[in-house]
Amino acid sequence: MPQARVLASTAAAVLLTACASMTAKEPMSFFVSSTGSGKGADLGGLAGADALCQKLAAAAGAGNKTWRAYLSVPGVRATPANPQAVPTVNARDRIGTGPWYNAKGELIARDLTHLHDGNNLSKATALDERGNTIKGSGDASPIEHDILTGSRSDGTAFSPSTDTTCKAWTSSGEGSAVVGHHDRTGLVNEPWAKSWNFSHQSAGCSQDALVRTGGSGRLYCFAAD
């Protein structure tokens, strides 16, 4: 009888361990922001964009991590007329090394290489900080699949010859910004329409221009630690 009780107790412990492992999930380390700045692509620069990611993460119970916006900024060389050089900032260099998981604990990418080649981003997994899906192609207008990045497909900045970041994320007027499609789809069956971080440029930098292009000023936010 004692042996039977020991066996039953052991079996119960094994079952509880198995159930715990099945229900456990990885903590969130990636999300698409549920809102933008409200001022189009004027995010208050990189610092303002990071602060938005941090604020939204904290409201969702994940404020114990350091959050960074996936945004690039082209550098500017010093010249006699403008002696103050501006360093290039690559989005891929701002977000840590991974792995990254969404609000449901689903793997987005193992590391930087996987993120930029073969990641698991899609409309079903590119969720906001509360685990909500975001309207994409095929949903009722206005769709919001344009996510601000200012980046090439490998996560690096463009040259400063063309404005691809709405004046380093400080303009809600003149300029333009490169965006990606969180749902990996578009109006035509072209590779650029399937890119999560490098699909096309926005119609402008104002909130209205972003909406007309197919977005609302949302960002990709990653836990950098």
Burial 31-55 (b: 16+ CB within 10 A, else e): bbbbebbebbbbbebbeebbbbbbe
Q: Which two tokens stand for residue 151?
A: 């980046």
CB 51 within 8 A of CB 37: no
The identity of residue 141, as a single letter, is S
Q: Which of 187, 168, 167, 142 is nearest to 69 (CA)?
A: 168
The pLDDT value recorded for residue 210 is 97
The tokens describing 38, both together, are: 């409200």
Which residues have C-beta within 8 Å of that of residue 211, sequence separation ≥ 6?
Answer: 142
State residue 20's pLDDT score.
40
Architecture of domain 26-75+86-223: Roll (3.10)
pLDDT score recorded for residue 192: 80
For residue 95, CA distances in Å to 2, 88, 143, 187, 189 come to: 56, 15, 27, 30, 30
pLDDT of residue 18: 42
Q: Which of 156, 184, 12 is nearest to 94 (CA)?
A: 156
Global confidence as pTM: 0.86
How far is 11 from 4, CA to CA, in rounded Å?
Answer: 11
The segments of the chain whose pLDDT lies below 50 read 1, 4-22
- In this structure, what are the phi and psi dihedrals at residue 26, rounded to the nearest 5 degrees? -70, 145
Task: Identify the pLDDT of residue 184.
Answer: 95
For Cα atoms 207, 211, 215, give the angle at the middle one, nearest 5 degrees: 105
Residue 139 burial (C-beta neighbours within 10 Å; 0-12, 13-18, 19+): middle
H helices present in the chain, as ranges: 2-23, 45-59, 112-115, 166-169, 207-213
Alpha carbon distance 96, 87 (integer Å): 19
